[in-house]
Structure formats: structure tokens, C-alpha cells
């Protein structure tokens, strides 16, 4: 597979690369990240290799990430038009201003205008609600987004890190009001974070939203740098960002990834990314890097295909405990509904409640 093996994002007409270039690391304003020159070099290589999808947010390096992208495309109108650029709103960059962030109309339009200015573009291809604003009616957020689509300032709408029930409500409201729908969901998803399989991914598949995993390497835990042997030398700054180093259960998964990487003669990062890319519902995976070497290593995952046995071993060691009723619906409900029959290629067992009591009354 290559970056120009384009895929359709959700229930839309938008075609994007299977790996999206994440720009959270663009700029050193937070004390880490890539310089502007390094960031522009990654953009150039990504585009030269056929990629067409870049993701940023107003909060990334306090707006510097957007500016770096805008500076790169300045004066390159044709190249910009061939690129799908997404940015996010919600986060407040104006200390003390209650309307500087969130999902209200005033805040959103202000944030959109600021992002357009920093990106030096007339339109944003995907405008993402970065989180759920509990204080703003979802109808207000959706209508304001639809107005921005009508005004030509944004092309499509996406959600990031929104609860499944709220995203489902929003999509239903948009459908019945005739407003622009949500075409994609950004979710944290990796071998070390699979709980989204309970509600969020099934919801997205059912309602026409493409799934875009972020942090597929779990903040570097699955990059190959971590093992039980070097647990004491974990980068303290990185560990602080992640809320601590890997747990014992995390190390079980890390070791399984490292073993598959050794079998394939590829990097652990490539294995972790290939696993995410293979998951049901996933459309385009966000990848980011602080250095060109990391970036190229991540792109190498496009050439990695895991065997069914390798996928099964990774699935088993990383199996999550899902909230009710996910496990119930997946494992018990088919036995109750299908009573040993095979439906849609999936066999079921006969429920113990039924054995010996079939149609007795």
C-alpha cells in the first residue's frame, strides 16, 4: 500500500490517504516538537510520496502548528487545493475569555476565522469539534457548523473525542434537520487503548463516520523504545505527558509487538501501525513525529502486512475489558438469538437455557 491508495472518509465524497500527517508536533513552543524547518520537510516528503491529508488544531503549539502549515502552502494554491487540511476548534487560546473556546456559535466563528488566518487559506476541508462542550446545546454547534459549510469556509465536519451517545444524538439531529453530517470521528486507538471498540467504533460504522485513530503508538510506548529491561530509563518528560510509564499489562503487549516485529524484520512501530490500519472501521490513521527518521519509520508501516496468526496473537494479549453491555452483546446475545445457527458467517452456540427445552410449550 502507498499514501496515494486513497480511501473514502466515512459516508462522504472525500478521498484521503490511509495515513494522515498529524501536526501536533509542529513547533517547539511547548518545549518539545519539531522546528518549523523540520516540520516543513516532513510536509514536503509526505506530499511528494503521494499523501494528501494533514491534521492540526488551533491549540497545537498555541497556533504555531497552523501557521507552519500556512507558511508552507503560501503561494502554492494548486498544491493547497490538492491537499485535505483539517483543523480543530474548542480549545481556548484567550485566557479569561469565556467565549474564547468551546462549541458555542460566537466562540466557533471566532476560532474559525483565526485558524483561516493562520493557515492562510480561504477554507478548511474538515473542521473538527475537538471535544464536547457540555454547556453548549449540540443543536447550536451543529447549526453554526452547517452555516460555515454554506458560507464556504469549511467543507466537511468531524468530531474528536466525543462520547458515543452524544455523537449519535448529533448525527441524528443533523440528519433530521437536513444539516451537514459528521463524516468522521477521531479516537484514541491502539493496542494499548482498545476500549473504543465497545461503543464508539460500532456507532461510527453504523452512522457513516470514518474512524481516525490518534496516538496509534500510545505516545511512543509501542515505538520499540520501551521494554521491561529499560523501564528505569523511561523519558521522564514523556512519561509525565502519558501519566506515567507503561504498566505491567502494557509491557505484555509491548513484548508481543516486539516479537512480531522480530519475525517480520520490521520496527515495532510498523507492527503497531499495521495492526491499527487492519482494524474494522478504520479509514485513515494519524501519524506524527518529532524527527524525520521517526516519520519515515512510521510510513514504512504501509508496506507491512500482518499474518492472521500474528493479528490473533496481538488481539489476544491486548484484549480489553469493555463496559457493559459490549461484552454481553458480543458474546452472549448471539447464543440467545441464533441458537447454534451460523449467521453472516459467524457461528453461534446453543444457550444452556435452551438445551433440552426447545419449543416445549
Q: Chunked in runs of 10, what are the mean pLDDT values of the chain (361 residues)?
A: 96 98 94 94 98 98 97 96 98 94 97 98 98 96 98 98 98 98 98 97 97 96 87 57 80 96 96 96 95 94 96 96 85 82 86 69 70
pLDDT of residue 238: 54
Rounded distance between C-alpha atoms, residue 201 and residue 212, angstroms? 10
Strands (E), 9-57: 15-16, 19-22, 53-55
Joined together, the cell numbers standing for residue 150 give 454554506
pLDDT digits (tens, 9 = 90+) for 237-291: 555 555 678 999 999 999 999 999 999 999 999 999 999 999 999 999 999 999 9
Q: How far apart are CA 118 and CA 124, in angstroms?
A: 11
Q: Is residue 5 helix, strand or coil?
A: coil
- Quote the pLDDT of residue 28: 92
pLDDT attached to residue 243: 67
Is-above-0.95 flag for pTM?
no
Say whether 127 is catalytic: no
What is the DSSP secondary-structure string of 210-271?
EEEEE-TTGGGTTTT---GGGGGG--HHHHHHTTSS--HHHHHHHHHHHHHHHHHTS-HHHH
The CA distance from 3 to 46, in Å, is 8
CATH 3.40.50.720 assigned to domain 7-316? The reply is no
Tens-place pLDDT, residues 142-184: 999 999 999 999 999 999 999 999 999 999 999 999 999 999 9
| Domain extent listing, the chain | 7-316, 324-361
What is the structure's pLDDT at 240? 54
Given 3-state DSSP classes, what are the helix, strand and coil percentages for the chain, each rounded to the nearest 5? Answer: 45, 15, 40
Reported residue count of the chain is 361
Choice among 46, 60, 189, 226 that is catalytic = 60
Amino acid at each position: 500500500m502507498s499514501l496515494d491508495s486513497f480511501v473514502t472518509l466515512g459516508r462522504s465524497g472525500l478521498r484521503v490517504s490511509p495515513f494522515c500527517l498529524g501536526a501536533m508536533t509542529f513547533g517547539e513552543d511547548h518545549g518539545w516538537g519539531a522546528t518549523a524547518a523540520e516540520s516543513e520537510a516532513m510536509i514536503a516528503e509526505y506530499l511528494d510520496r503521494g499523501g494528501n491529508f494533514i491534521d492540526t488544531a488551533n491549540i497545537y503549539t498555541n497556533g504555531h502548528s497552523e501557521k507552519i502549515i500556512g507558511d508552507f502552502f503560501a503561494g502554492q494554491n494548486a498544491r493547497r487545493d490538492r491537499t485535505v487540511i483539517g483543523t480543530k476548534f474548542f480549545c481556548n487560546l484567550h485566557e479569561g475569555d469565556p467565549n474564547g473556546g468551546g462549541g458555542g456559535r460566537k466562540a466557533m466563528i471566532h476560532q474559525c476565522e483565526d485558524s483561516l488566518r493562520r493557515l492562510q487559506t480561504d477554507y478548511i476541508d474538515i473542521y473538527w469539534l475537538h471535544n464536547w462542550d457540555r454547556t453548549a446545546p449540540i443543536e447550536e454547534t451543529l447549526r453554526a457548523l452547517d452555516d460555515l459549510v454554506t458560507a464556504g469556509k469549511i467543507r466537511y465536519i468531524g468530531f474528536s473525542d466525543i462520547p458515543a451517545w452524544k455523537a449519535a444524538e448529533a448525527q441524528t439531529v443533523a440528519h433530521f434537520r437536513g444539516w451537514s453530517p459528521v463524516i468522521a470521528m477521531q479516537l484514541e486507538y491502539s493496542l494499548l487503548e482498545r476500549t473504543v471498540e465497545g461503543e464508539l467504533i460500532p456507532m461510527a460504522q453504523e452512522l457513516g463516520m470514518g474512524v481516525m485513530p490518534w496516538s496509534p503508538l500510545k505516545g511512543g510506548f509501542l515505538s520499540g523504545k520501551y521494554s521491561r529491561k529499560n523501564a528505569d530509563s523511561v523519558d521522564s518528560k514523556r512519561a509525565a505527558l502519558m501519566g506515567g510509564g507503561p504498566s505491567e499489562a502494557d509491557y505484555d503487549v509491548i513484548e508481543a509487538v516486539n516479537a512480531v516485529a522480530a519475525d517480520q524484520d520490521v520496527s515495532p512501530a510498523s507492527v503497531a501501525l499495521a495492526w491499527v490500519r487492519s482494524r474494522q472501521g478504520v479509514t485513515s490513521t494519524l501519524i506524527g513525529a518529532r524527527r524525520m527518521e521517526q516519520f519515515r519509520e512510521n510510513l514504512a508501516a504501509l508496506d507491512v502486512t500482518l499474518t492472521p496468526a500474528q493479528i490473533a496473537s496481538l488481539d489476544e494479549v491486548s484484549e480489553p475489558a469493555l463496559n457493559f453491555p459490549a461484552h454481553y452483546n458480543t458474546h452472549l446475545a448471539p447464543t440467545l438469538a441464533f441458537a447454534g445457527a451460523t449467521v453472516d458467517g459467524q457461528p453461534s452456540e446453543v444457550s444452556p437455557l435452551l438445551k433440552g427445552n426447545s419449543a416445549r410449550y
